[in-house]
Amino acid sequence: MKLKLSIAIIAILSVITLKAQEISDTSFGKGLINFVAKDSTFSVKFAPRFQVRSMSSWDHDGNQYISPEHNFIVRRARLKFDGFAYSPKLVYKIELGLSNRDISGANEFNRNTPRYILDAVLKWKFADNWELWAGQTKLPGNVERVVSSGNLQLIDRSLLNSRFNIDRDLGIQLRHKSKLGGNFLMREKLSVSQGEGRNVSEGNEGGLQYTARLELLPFGKFKSKGDYSQSDLKREEKPKLMLGFTYNYNQDAVRERGFAGDYMIRTDGTIYETDQTTIFADAMFKYKGFSFMGEYAKRTADDEIATEADGVTPTGDVVLTGDALNLQAGYLFKNNYEIAARFTTLDYENVTGALPTEQYTLGVNKFIVGHKLKVQSDISYTTVDGNEDNITFRLGFDIHF
């Protein structure tokens, strides 16, 4: 796999080299390569990106903050390809991850290999306002998760997202949109997927996963798909609002968080299964530089405690159930500096053993070329079970060709 990936990268660099003496009409942030076949039967856009971070963290030992820990990481490094094939009505997206955080998660169900593939999906616009998707990509879950990691308002997504999102999976999606009168837009998204997350090659171990999402935009579309990009970079001249509602049912889920977490394997080699349900309600609002995003998430399971084949003895695995609230807002000044703030609270079911958590975050951003080239910083104060716990400061930059 590593050899094949290396060959692919070398091939891409060779194409770039061959084209180096030509003048391109593309610009920064619009893709490193934009190619359309002479007979218009296909197109390719290649856009690499990466994010570098530094973090300093102070833990509280009950009396005082102890000496900080410092860390520098390449948080994400990705290669993205998209375009159309055969017809503009059939589009595709391929995204590969290269950083440690992107490819980690090897286990026996993906042949103990790095998880390079993030997205590999075809999208067929088979009729007016209708699309059929097939492949591996993000499910229509909470808005924060579907927003690209390159279009975030703060250094990274919230604790709500890290604990309760439904992420990527392999399957099919049906999408439709319609106007309800005036500018009022409604979008419906349905998905049937494998239910065990991305890059699974040895499955399906449990049942299937079913997802439905409804989106209401009473004031019409956002500029440049701003409902799925944080910060009001386009400074909406009129108020724009999206309300979203998602229902997700993972039948006979075999992992602690449905799509992710440990497989709940018993001592006899069989896998514990339980139905998991996750719901989301979220909103995105933008107006003249001000932006707001709110999310509520709740996950339940038929039985959170995994048991051995006798149905009584606990295996030690527990499904992460509970609910969370995330509120985030920011204001973009005309000099392209932005201030942003976020409040997140997590409440878990007692059976999980996880403690309630609150986090307060304040961030400052400088957008040089929108989200394509920016510098970000934020500081977070986190409490666990009402006690002082941690202060974390993060600084980083994004570059997206």
Tell whether 13 is covered by a domain: no
pLDDT score recorded for residue 224: 95
Q: pTM to 2 decimals?
A: 0.92
- Which CATH number characterizes residue 263's domain? 2.40.160.10
pLDDT score recorded for residue 12: 57
Tell whether 15 is covered by a domain: no
Average pLDDT of span 21-29: 71
Instruction: Report pLDDT digits (tens) over 157-186.
Output: 999 999 999 999 999 999 999 999 899 999
pLDDT score recorded for residue 20: 46
- Least confident window among 88-97, 347-356, 380-389: 380-389
Tell whether 22 is covered by a domain: no
Tell whether 140 is covered by a domain: yes
pLDDT bucket at 65, cuts 50 / 70 / 90? confident
Closest CA to 151 of 391, 369, 305, 379: 369
Tell whether 329 is covered by a domain: yes
Number of domains in the chain: 1
Indicate whether 5 pLDDT > 70.
no
pLDDT score recorded for residue 68: 85
Instruction: Report pLDDT digits (tens) over 254-297.
Output: 999 999 999 999 999 999 999 999 999 999 999 999 999 999 99
pLDDT bucket at 14, cuts 50 / 70 / 90? low
pLDDT score recorded for residue 386: 85
Q: What percent of the chain has pLDDT over 90?
A: 86
Greatest mean pLDDT among 7-11, 62-66, 191-195, 384-388 = 191-195
Indicate whether 11 pLDDT > 70.
no
pLDDT score recorded for residue 24: 62
Average of per-residue pLDDT values in the chain: 93
Q: What percent of the chain has pLDDT over 70?
A: 94
Instruction: Report pLDDT digits (tens) over 226-260.
Output: 999 999 999 999 999 999 999 999 999 999 999 99
Instruction: Report pLDDT digits (tens) over 46-64.
Output: 999 999 999 999 998 777 7
Tell whether 270 is covered by a domain: yes
Indicate whether 400 pLDDT > 90.
yes
- Would the CA dihedral through 155, 161, 162, 163 be positive or negative? positive
Indicate whether 136 pLDDT > 60.
yes
Tell whether 17 is covered by a domain: no
Indicate whether 219 pLDDT > 80.
yes
Closest CA to 209 of 253, 165, 264: 253
Tell whether 10 is covered by a domain: no
Q: Which residues form the domain of 78?
A: 31-400
Choice between 337 and 386, residue whose per-residue pLDDT is larger = 337
pLDDT score recorded for residue 63: 75
